[in-house]
Structure 1
Amino acid sequence: MKKVILFADTGIDDAMALIYALRNPDIDLLAVVSGYGNVEREKTYRNVEYLLDLAGRSDIPVISGATRPLNGEDPVFFPDIHGEEGLGPIQPPIPEERYANRSNFSKLFRIIKEDDPNEITIVNVGRCTSLAIAWYLNPEVMADVKQTYVMGGAFLVPGNATAVAEANFYGDAIAANYVCQHVPDLTVIPLNATREALLTPEDVDLIDARTDSPLLDIVEPILDFYYEVYQELEPGIEGTPQHDLAALVATLEIPRMFTYEKREVRVQHEESYANGLSIANFRPGSTDCSGDNCVRIAVDLNRALFANHVIEVLTNQRRRRNHRQRRQKK
């Protein structure tokens, strides 16, 4: 079972990643670090607690992350994409003010220290700020993390925040560059792969038809909202890209799901037009790198395999199949 700490800025695609983690019997979700990003930190924290409550998993600790990027500037939020509250049309019945003025990185460090060394995987699907701060504050404890997956970047493909930059890297380019340059055993899942991680309206209808919990009940309204947004952004797109969910799926290392290459990665962070641009050497003739600064980059994703896997996990088909197989063995 994969032990995961999820760093998120819980908008719609983050919510789908969290729902997937809660539904997947192969993932042991140890904690969620909730920071600013798609909406304010107080709202992302509230959204995580709301989803955990729907799942009956209020035992999972939620840790307050960063409220703004490392350069100290006010963050830019995306209510037009994720809704004013971060979950599309959903209005969580919990006041966001409850989560103001909190900071508890010590809880994160305690969770890592109390577990077995090299057993925990960190998956960062929001801005890289909280992850960079954690490494700066306590590199000794963070070094016990087995591996780190980051959803971010766009290598030789268009960005989604600017013409060249993906939103997570653009939202705190200083932190993104720090993480790519300093965090060991790092895998980056960029737009190159996540743009293929589509769930179509038919996929969503199938998930909704098999819903068996209040947690799964919200999938259709939030993804319908997301689909309408994407039809405005990219008319004719076949479904909604599940950027953050793809990064969590990647941790399971499912054969033929992703294609990877290894490169050294830098992120432009000097406040230019190209702020947030992810940079790696993909020139003809370049090959996989080696060494401490080498980052594994997902360059492709099998769309059909991804969708089938996600539907199977969310609708508990895999769990039911395993149960049938166990009964047959008896």
Structure 2
Amino acid sequence: MFSIKKIILFSDTGIDDAIALIYALKNPDIDVMAVVSGFGNTDRNKSYRNATYLLNLSGHGEIPVIAGSTRPLSGQEPEFFPDIHGVEGLGPLSPPVPEERYRNKTNFSKLFQLIKSNPGEITIVNVGRCTSLAIAWLLSPEIMNLVKETYIMGGAFLVPGNVTEVAEANFYGDAVAADIVCRLSPNLTVIPLNVTRIALLTPAQVDFIDSKAKTPLDQLIKPLLDFYYEAYQQLEPGIEGTPQHDLSAVMAAACIDGLFTYEKRAIRVQHEESYANGLSIADFRPGSINCFGTGCSRIAVEIDEDIFLTNMLDILTR
């Protein structure tokens, strides 16, 4: 029997996170229980502010936003990406509330309260750095073991990275945290660049979505993705659209039939400072097979682009 997915979204609310959140809010099969906002695409305070802004604009201001991490577990200063996500994290948009309002907030107790109140029912979807999620596991593994399942957008297996030659941005941004989460999280599914890189949304499709826009939230999609497309044209000249990295992970959590093909492997993340920092590692040598039991995670290795497009357009034009 199908039941609505109760999701807690861990994000670093930049453009692709915003599209993922909008999709989740519009999807009738998803109940967004909370958003945990940490550093990543932008700093923690802006990330928190952006999530609050989007929820209020959608009419879901009652959904709690939980302040996440401000820097990686290494203690290093994080690097932000205004060229890709804009100065405020939302491309050309400037939310009316200054981020300084959220400077001193932190509240993991709210996260733990939600999980304890819904044992075995919460799905965590992490589409930013893994720092906040790793901290939650280190603070209270007993409570975190009450989580039903975890989905992560991160890693790159047998394909190039997008922030270094070998590393994807979320894993690279806190490789220590990524390794902790991949080792500790049971029922873990990883949605890597292998599939998100080809989950494209073209300008023509964005225009179609915009033609159906009726709410203030819907009307944000085009300016966000137009900005994102121009940024990607600088990164990868000629790319047909913008890769929907974070949206792909939310769609995976929605368990859309046939969307992804998975293989099960143990995952480790290179986290000692080296040329390969953030490298995601799994055994895909010829002859390797699915693993079983503790320490095994699902890795998405293929995506059905037609199913992706059909579902994405259906939800975002509602």
TM-score tier by shorter-chain length is over 0.9
1:224 Cα offset (Å) = 0.3
- 3-state SS of paired residue (2:273): coil
Counterpart among 57, 78, 89 of residue 92 in structure 2: 89
What is the Cα-based RMSD across aligned positions, in Å?
Answer: 0.6
Look up the equivalent residue of 2:315 and give its one-letter code.
V
1:105 Cα offset (Å) = 0.2
Number of residue pairs the alignment of both structures matches = 315
Q: Which residue of 1 aligns with 2:47?
A: 44
CA–CA distance in structure 2, aligned partners of residues 100 and 52 of structure 1: 19
Look up the equivalent residue of 2:296 and give its one-letter code.
C
Answer whether contact 1:155 1:190 (CA < 8 A) is retained: yes
- 3-state SS of paired residue (2:35): strand
Q: Which residue of 2 aligns with 1:57?
A: 60
Answer whether contact 1:196 1:302 (CA < 8 A) is retained: no
Q: Which residue of 1 aligns with 2:199?
A: 197
Q: Which residue of 1 aligns with 2:71?
A: 68
Answer whether contact 1:8 1:35 (CA < 8 A) is retained: yes
CA–CA distance in structure 1, aligned partners of residues 42 and 113 of structure 2: 27
Structure 1 stretches of 4+ with a deviation exceeding 3 A read none
Q: How does 1:253-272 map to 2 (within 5 A)?
A: 253-272=255-274
Q: Which residue of 2 aligns with 1:79?
A: 82
Unaligned runs of 5+ in 1: 317-330
Q: Which residue of 1 aligns with 2:302?
A: 300
Q: Which residue of 2 aligns with 1:166?
A: 168
1:300 Cα offset (Å) = 1.3
Q: How does 1:137-152 map to 2 (within 5 A)?
A: 137-152=139-154
Answer whether contact 1:159 1:165 (CA < 8 A) is retained: yes
- 3-state SS of paired residue (1:214): coil
CA–CA distance in structure 2, aligned partners of residues 248 and 98 of structure 1: 29
1:304 Cα offset (Å) = 2.0
Look up the equivalent residue of 2:79 and give its one-letter code.
V
CA–CA distance in structure 1, aligned partners of residues 288 and 151 of structure 2: 23
Look up the equivalent residue of 1:82 and give its one-letter code.
H
CA–CA distance in structure 1, aligned partners of residues 30 and 275 of structure 2: 39
Q: Which moved more, 1:252-261 or 1:206-215?
A: 252-261
- 3-state SS of paired residue (1:3): strand
Answer whether contact 1:173 1:267 (CA < 8 A) is retained: yes
1:106 aligns with 2:116: no
Look up the equivalent residue of 1:236 and give its one-letter code.
G
Counterpart among 33, 38, 48 of residue 35 in structure 1: 38
Q: Which residue of 1 aligns with 2:289?
A: 287
CA–CA distance in structure 1, aligned partners of residues 31 and 254 of structure 2: 12
- 3-state SS of paired residue (1:218): helix
Look up the equivalent residue of 1:260 and give its one-letter code.
Y
Q: Which residue of 2 aligns with 1:131?
A: 133
Identical-pair percentage: 67
Unaligned runs of 5+ in 2: none
CA–CA distance in structure 1, aligned partners of residues 11 and 254 of structure 2: 18
* Cα deviations by residue, 1:26-66 (Å, 9 ceiling, x for unpaired): 00000000000000000000000110111011000000000
1:7 aligns with 2:10: yes
Counterpart among 223, 237, 262 of residue 221 in structure 1: 223
Counterpart among 229, 237, 240 of residue 239 in structure 2: 237
Look up the equivalent residue of 1:293 and give its one-letter code.
G
Answer whether contact 1:198 1:242 (CA < 8 A) is retained: yes
CA–CA distance in structure 1, aligned partners of residues 286 and 141 of structure 2: 36
- 3-state SS of paired residue (1:53): helix
Look up the equivalent residue of 1:121 and give its one-letter code.
T
- 3-state SS of paired residue (2:181): helix
Look up the equivalent residue of 1:207 and give its one-letter code.
I
* Cα deviations by residue, 1:263-282 (Å, 9 ceiling, x for unpaired): 01100000000000000000
